[in-house]
A and B are shown apart, each in its own frame.
Chain A
Amino acid sequence: MEAEAGGTERGRARDPRRALGRLVQAVLCSRGEANAVFDVLAALQSEDQEEIQEAVRACSRLFGALLERGELFVGQLPSEDMVMAGSQGAMRKYKVWMRHRYCSCCNRLGELLVHPTFQVKELALGTLMKFVQLEGAHPLEQPKWEGHYLFPRTLFRVVVGGLLSPTDDQSLLLSQFREYLEFDDVRYHTMQAASDAVAQVTNQQPEPPLTFWNNAFTLLCAVSLPLQEQDLSTFYVKHVELLDKWKVTHLREHRKVFQTMWLSFLKHKLPLSLYKKVLLVMHDSILPHLAQPTLMIDFLTSACDVGGAISLLALNGLFILIHKHNLEHPDFYRKLYGLLDPSIFHVKYRARFFHLADLFLSSSHLPAYLVAAFAKRLSRLALTAPPEALLMVLPFICNLLRRHPACRVLVHRPQGPELDSDPYDPEEEDPAQSRALESCLWELQTLQRHYHPEVSKAASVINQALSVPEVSIAPLLELTAYEVFEQDLKKKGPEPVPLEFIPAQGLLGRRDDLCAQFFTLS
């Protein structure tokens, strides 16, 4: 029974292919058989995935050939009924009719881009892009003047719209699409179409689902502009010659479109996870390509005010704007100061944050009170940090002191009075008001008693006058506890390993040991 069923299945699978092949052949051979197109299009609507694939292939062959032959109507498409009713020549009727079939085929393919099976999606995308290429080479609209740049925008919009589906996760398909983005014209039109699509979706739904944002972000991220001005000549649609007046050939125009695309994307309220992703790529794949990077100020400042990891990530972009584009941001260091809380030693972005903080505080023109406040705050926080973070933050603090000799009073105050309490105010948000310069880094003195030998050593540096050259913290940024552990294991100790000389009496030790006090075996 089953074998038979399988057999018939296969037979059916083979049959449609042959049948479709015959139909396509018939349509291509004689115009009389044109009605067979309907059968092919009907197969596109099928439920069966194999059949759809066959149909897509057949369509691709059929309309590809028709496009090349020029058997599709060129120009503004009149409505079908009007033409059929009208008394124009049969040839024109045929072309208009065929063009309508082509349109419905394209629409259906666009719908197939959100088909549940990936093969179908992939095939549909491939076919659509093939049509884009052919249509670009044999435009379906009249050039308005000599050297008019034509690109099948409507068709391409269908493609991008399908890619930015609000319902399906298209990340796989987008990675397929990435290879088309190598072409300069495809990239240019993708950017245009993407901003349109985003605007369209957000108009329709006030709060689009997460999948849409993810798709959009993936697509937007995939777009990468060349940094240097070079001739943009790798085109997907083949042209006989590239004219200089076409916008597509200029990087400046690309940048403009790139900017509009990102701004139209970022002006919406993004989900939190996406926020982080955007900020992560902001400094190296968005900001350098914008025509006017200063337009990002609003976005970045608002991100900076969010707090936590997001503001941390926003700092980088903000710093680039301040550093390279003359942005005036009075509260920048105050915000940075506010970001320092115990969690920075435990978050994922620790290395990045300290790298940036090192960068921000590298200027020797910073006021001493500010640097002192940072040093004091960091050493306060160091009291809660794990050893791997301490190994990084202690040299960091020492570097600050090295860079700013005025801050050395923090570790060396010869004739200072003895105090009853620490003058530093940890609650104060303004580094200027924190009275850090009046304080000393007693925290480092505390950490000299840390249980880990390396930390203790690192903290003991302040006992001597600080050496002049700074210690590079770059190799320490990514230090993990596991690495520290491995280093400890590898370090050679004194040759006979020292042993405990008080003999063990049991698992929990003696009666006065802590474990024995609070825990029992049974």
Chain B
Amino acid sequence: MGKARPRAARRPAPRAPAGARGSAARANPNPFEVKVNRQKFQILGRKARHDVGLPGVARARAIRKRTQTLLKEYKDRDKSNVFTDKRFGEYNSNISPEEKMMKRFALEQQRHHEKKSIYNLNEDEELTHYGQSLADIEKHNDIVDSDSDAEEQGTLSAELTAAHFGGRGLLHKKTSQQEGEEGGKPKSRKELIEELIAKSKQEKRERQAQREDALELTEKLDQDWKEIQTLLSHKTPKSEKREKKENPKPDAYDKMVRELGFEMKARPSNRRKPEEELAKEEQGRLRKLEAERLQRMLGKEDESVKKPKHMSADDLNDGFVLDKDDRRLLSYKDGKMNVEEGVHKELSRETGSHGNNEEESEEESGHPDSHSDLGPSAESGEEDEQPQREQGQTPGKRLRSDQHTPEAARAELPYIFAAPESYEELRSVLSGRSMEEQLLVVERIQKCNHPSLAVGNKEKLEKLFGFLLEYVGDLATSDPPDLKVIDKLVVQLYNLCQMFPESASSSMQFVLRDAMHEMEEMIETKGRAAFPGLDVLIYLKIVGLLFPTSDFRHPVVTPALMCLSQLLTKCPVLSLQDVVKGLFVCCLFLECVALSHRFIPEVINFLLGILYIATPNKQSQGSTLVHPFRALGKNSELLLVSDAEDVATWQRGSLPLHWASGPRAPTAAEANHTRLSCLAVCLALLRHCTVIYGTLPSFHAVTRPLQALLTQHLTDRSHPHELQELFQSTLAEMENQKQLYRPLLCEKSKPVPLKLFTPRLVKVLEFGRKQGSSKEEQERKRLIHKHKREFKGAVREIRKDNQFLARMQLSEIMERDAERKRRVKQLFNSLATQEGEWKALKRKKFKK
């Protein structure tokens, strides 16, 4: 290769002089014909393409082109006969020019072979070698010093030699003919050589890439091997390799190897941490979560500070992602492990988790990679990690359920439950069972369908959340409401919610929307709504348990708060049940703001109303009363207790929640006791409000009507002693909240900056491009610009065409006129001569 190139360079191209002439003409033009486009500024990096123009040459070229095309057309405008080129394949663009030439040549040859005389043996057919006449070669006028490359001849490719010998499969005769037309033959040859060089380079590159790929693969293989090797430090690599290659049926040995491989012996384990350290870590984690909560409470939407993923309380901090965990899955499918998973897990859970459950779970949630702690406990080595993880997620609950659940119930229940596909299915599974059994069933459904066990399990469990929610609603509406079961199911819901926050929140939202919709319909038809059933209240309570209530805005909690607000403002209090429900709603509301101490006007209004309906009717307070309560009317003395005996026998106690659900006809005394209890709860809530709202700037404006009512109650003196005290302390607390009214101030806003007149500097990153717009915009601008230029160019061309045509027509007319003039002149001439002759004749006659 290296030698071939200089030879090619040395060899003079046959048509070089012609090319040189042309370039010389261009290089040294007449200075008067040159138009120099002066450049204003020298700009680095800009290519100046049109700095020099040759207007004369360009015009001549244009005219020539027009005479060849436009003028021809113009002249042929009235002619209908067509010139067809009958040469072979002239109009066929599918055939490459080379092929075309070949075919033409073949045809020509055929024509030649139709010999005119059969007997003339000495037909002038020249023999060629690669298109060059052998006779010419024999003359040695084009010497090739092939001796020196004799050895390398073999390495040269056929094409190369062909190129060097100048032949292209054509006869010399033909080439000599073509030489005239095909002016750029040496040039094309050069190109050919370049092409060849490029081709060989590419080949080389490809080979290199292939080699690199192979290398990479080997490296990767090595690495993989190393990974396994670390696990099996004492195993011979050979056997492992062989085992890896072919194990359609794992025998005992292979299994052993696999098991040993997965045993965490080889890896260094984290040291077991002492108690105080664990506690510290736990505290740190909680502090971090609390900080996040605070940030959300204040409604700061700082994405950069926020962690991308929310950490649930039971997140193990080990980056555990459910979908990706395929390695452990493999360990299950492996021969021996391929037993009934549910049973296996149940067993392992029972065996493994009884004793050190609490401790383990604490560790689990405490720090990452805690599964390595299990290393020492040998019997759990083969146990899968899922049950443990779940233990981590249900720290409190597991312990309790394990203690409570009688072994008998355990025994008679099947271990495997399919995840329910519909709510009816779940209900049929759960109905008729005792509380413990129900809990166990739900727990087992979760176990059997843990998302790491199969692909579709995630969806199944997501659905389970919705079904459980529905089931809770059903339990709450049943008579009597099965609140104990709900109490326990809440824990399950919490766990599921931690696993699938998205679906849980959407099903919660669905439930809320349902409740709100129902209420809205009732308001539209009747103008007011009744307090909803216990199920809605329970749902609202569950929202508070599952989601952080202190967030500034939360996709589930904020709508739930709206719902609570609706309950307190739109539902008139018509019965004692409504009072209990309303107070429960107040409790929920206040719990929601327990951390954030946000202000809830509705609760204050409602408590005011409750206080009001516990007083005998008086006209004075009517104006401050807010909507669901009426100053006068049927229910305006609902909580008034007038029976002195009942007052005396009343004992303060909690309100049972199930009172809110079903219709009941308590005795008068019971009802009175309930009334007093409600009043006590109301007062306690008021005190709570006083505490959390004490710092509000308009606290006194808020509590003024309350204070008035409280004093009225105090003067009443018909209340039991305990209540009286409660009244007194609440009132005192309210009055003791001293506050200063500090005048309001707006934050100072930034002064508007004056307009500046310094030029705006823009960094130019790339020259020759329009700056300061997006890529699409740039592209669009470019296209518009191009179109404009093309359009202008086309218009100019058309104009010039027209001018050219007009010129041609004019010259035609001139020519015609000149011709006519000439003819007329000629006629006149001849006439004049005739006349002259005639006159001469006449003169002659006359003379005679």
Question: Measuring CB to CB, which residues of chain A are less than 8 angstroms from any residue of chain B?
Answer: 341-343, 345-346, 380, 383-387, 410-414, 416-422, 426, 440-443, 445-447, 449-453, 456, 462-465, 480-482, 484-486, 488-489, 491-494, 496-509, 513-515, 517-522
Contact = CB atoms under 8 A, between A and B. Distances in A.
Given A443-B698, A496-B309, A497-B556, A521 B743 contact: no
B15 interface: no
B541 A422 contact: no
Contacts of B626: 342-343, 346, 384
Contact of B655 (A422, A489, A519): A519
A442 B697 contact: yes
B376 interface: no
A507 B490 contact: yes
Contact of A518 (B486, B516, B583, B749): B583
Interface in B429-459: none
Contacts of B587: 514-515, 518-519
A492 B546 contact: no
Given A442-B697, A498-B310, A485 B494 contact: no
Given A452-B561, A481-B562, A508-B487, A500 B546 contact: yes
A414 B592 CA distance: 36
Shortest Cβ-Cβ A-B pairs, 5 listed:
A416-B743, A346-B627, A501-B313, A493-B555, A413-B743
A442 B744 contact: yes
Contact of A506 (B491, B654, B655, B701): B491
Nearest to B583: A518
A462 B746 contact: yes
B282 to A, nearest CB: 12
A478 B58 CA distance: 76
A520 B488 contact: no
Contacts of A345: 627
A200 B534 CA distance: 58
Given A496-B309, A497-B502, A498-B310, 16 more contacts: A343-B626, A380-B701, A413-B744, A442-B744, A446-B697, A449-B696, A462-B746, A482-B566, A485-B516, A493-B555, A494-B306, A501-B312, A503-B394, A506-B487, A507-B487, A509-B544
Contact of A449 (B487, B546, B569, B598): B598
A517 B591 CA distance: 11
20 contacts: A383-B601, A384-B601, A418-B743, A419-B743, A451-B561, A489-B512, A489-B559, A493-B553, A493-B555, A498-B554, A500-B313, A503-B396, A504-B493, A505-B491, A506-B487, A507-B487, A509-B545, A513-B594, A514-B591, A515-B584
Contact of B591 (A414, A505, A509): A509
Nearest to B521: A482
Given A481-B570, A485-B516, A519-B654, A497 B505 contact: yes
Nearest to A512: B594
A412 B626 CA distance: 31
Nearest to B545: A504
B558 interface: yes
Contacts of B655: 518-520
A445 to B, nearest CB: 5
A397 B320 CA distance: 52
B656 interface: yes
Contact of B700 (A384, A416, A422): A422
Interface in B539-573: 541-542, 544-549, 551-556, 558-559, 561-563, 565-566, 569-570
Contacts of B592: 451
A391 B716 CA distance: 39
B562 A488 contact: yes
Interface string B595-629: 01111111011000000000000000001111100
Contacts of B314: 503
Contacts of A462: 744, 746
B217 interface: no
Contact of B501 (A449, A497, A507): A497
B593 interface: yes
Nearest to B591: A514
Interface of B: 286, 289, 292-293, 296, 299, 306, 309-314, 394-397, 483-484, 486-488, 490-491, 493-494, 497-498, 501-502, 504-505, 509, 512-513, 516-517, 520, 538, 541-542, 544-549, 551-556, 558-559, 561-563, 565-566, 569-570, 583-584, 587-594, 596-602, 604-605, 623-627, 654-658, 681, 684-685, 688, 696-702, 740-747, 749
Nearest to B555: A493
Nearest to B493: A504
A440 B558 CA distance: 30
A494 B305 CA distance: 13
Nearest to B494: A504
A403 to B, nearest CB: 17
Contacts of A494: 296, 306, 310
A341 to B, nearest CB: 6
A387 B568 CA distance: 12
B688 A514 contact: yes
Contacts of B681: 518
Nearest to A390: B601
B177 to A, nearest CB: 78
A500 B501 contact: no
Nearest to B527: A348
Contact of A485 (B299, B490, B562, B657): B562
Nearest to B296: A498
B554 A493 contact: yes
A157 B744 CA distance: 69
Contact of A522 (B484, B509, B551, B565): B484
B813 to A, nearest CB: 74
Contacts of B590: 514
A383 B704 CA distance: 12
Contacts of B397: 503
Contacts of B696: 446, 449
Contact of B656 (A485, A515, A519): A519
Contacts of A517: 654, 684
Contacts of B591: 509, 513-515
A507 B538 contact: yes
Given A410-B744, A452-B561, A498-B547, A520 B702 contact: no
B147 to A, nearest CB: 79
Contact of A499 (B306, B312, B562, B563): B312
Contact of B546 (A346, A420, A499): A499
B494 A503 contact: yes
A453 B551 CA distance: 9
Contact of A386 (B483, B598, B601): B601
A442 B685 contact: no
Contacts of B688: 514
Contacts of B306: 494
Given A413-B743, A418-B741, A445 B698 contact: yes
Contacts of A497: 310, 501-502, 504-505, 547, 554-556
A383 B698 contact: yes
A386 B743 CA distance: 26
A450 to B, nearest CB: 5
Nearest to B510: A489
A407 to B, nearest CB: 12
A499 B745 contact: no
Contacts of B598: 449-451, 456
Contacts of B547: 497-500
Given A412-B746, A500-B545, A508-B487, A384 B605 contact: yes
B741 A421 contact: yes
Contacts of B484: 521-522
Contacts of B483: 507, 521-522
Contacts of B505: 497
B129 to A, nearest CB: 78
Contacts of A342: 623-627
Contact of B498 (A450, A488, A499): A499
A501 B561 CA distance: 20
Contacts of A380: 701
Nearest to B740: A418
